[in-house]
Amino acid sequence: MNMKRRVFLKGSLASGMVAVAVGAGLITPRQVLAAWPKEAFEAKNVNDAMKGIVGAELAPASDAIKLDAPDIAENGAVVPIKITAEMANVESITIFAEKNQTPLIASFNFSGNAQGYISTRIKMGQTSNVIAVVKAGGQLHSARKEVKVTIGGCGG
Amino acid sequence: MANSSIKIRAKVKGGVCEVKALINHPMETGLRKDKKTGKVIPAHYIQEVTCQHNGKDVVTGMWGGAISTNPYLSFMVDGAKKGDTISLSWVDNTGAKDSDEGEVK
């Protein structure tokens, strides 16, 4: 059952969409964030997703980001995540789960008096790194943490 | 109020206002299959969330289907006082939307 699904997905979806995502990523590396970035949310790997939403594939690790996530999540459908960015001028926080079918989970933009803090619950298909990318003062920073998932929460 | 899909709690502590919100939404990824029929359950998830403090944007989120069912969201706002208004609105991929507001306590 599962194998068939893999093959089906690989054959029909992956090839087409990755090509679209990569193409879009190359042509417009910095997307306007006002519209919901479809390509980034449908990208099948972290690099494409990151390029689509924050405009770069890599972000240097930073100790100023605190990423709170459980070491082991029994239920991948509900993984509590808390991100605190202890830096000035936090513009956005973007969350990825490296091995999800579509790694980009959500992106939050901050303005006005909002602090660089977000807490939410995410779905994870399998054990993988959770990556938080913080944009502050025009610079990208990242933090990652591995979460072991016992039962996946993305499409069984 | 009673029928709203959103619950907001905002509380000031040490000059910082912590906002906690719960939204009732299926957040269907479009990747799951119905176990009985074997058909893919169509995607139905919130794409955009806007949170405002006294009518000004503070946090805006763009979400994919990987935010958990009945999403929980928490953030902090500096300088919010008792009696201020925190509002939250969302739009999902089918175009459905809802909004609600809460008073800072």
Q: Residue A110 maps to which CATH number?
A: 2.60.40.2470
Nearest CA in chain A to B67: A122
Residue A133's nearest CA partner among A107, A153, A101, A100 is A107
Range of the domain at A78: 2-151
Residue A120 and residue A139 in contact, taking contact as beta carbons nearer than 8 Å: no
ipTM of this predicted complex? Answer: 0.89
Residue B75 and residue B90 in contact, taking contact as beta carbons nearer than 8 Å: no
Average pLDDT, chain B: 89
CATH of the domain at B39: 2.60.40.10
Quick check: is B1 in a domain? no
CA–CA gap between residue A49 and residue A18 (Å, rounded): 10
Say if residue A21's pLDDT is above 80: no
Sort out which chain A residues have CB atoms less than 8 A from B78's CB and list them: 113-115
Quick check: is B88 in a domain? yes
What is the phi/psi pair of residue A2, to 5°? Answer: -65, -40
A 124-143 near B (Cβ less than 8 A): 124
Nearest CA in chain B to A96: B66
Residues 6+ apart with CB under 8 A from A121: A78, A79, A80, A81, B67, B68, B71, B72
Range of the domain at B15: 6-103
Least confident of A18-22, A24-28, A52-56, B1-5: A24-28
Beta strands A72-75; A139-151: pairing state: parallel
Residue percentage of chain B with pLDDT more than 90: 54
Residues 6+ apart with CB under 8 A from A89: A136, A137
Q: What is the pLDDT of residues B58-105, one digit of tens each?
A: 999 999 889 999 999 999 999 888 999 999 999 988 888 899 999 998
CA–CA gap between residue B71 and residue B77 (Å, rounded): 20
- Count of domains forming chain B: 1
Quick check: is A156 in a domain? no
Quick check: is A62 in a domain? yes
Quick check: is B99 in a domain? yes
- Count of domains forming chain A: 1
Residues 6+ apart with CB under 8 A from A18: A43, A44, A45, A48
Strands (DSSP E) found in A103-152: 104-110, 117-122, 128-136, 139-151
Quick check: is B78 in a domain? yes
Sort out which chain A residues have CB atoms less than 8 A from B47's CB and list them: 36
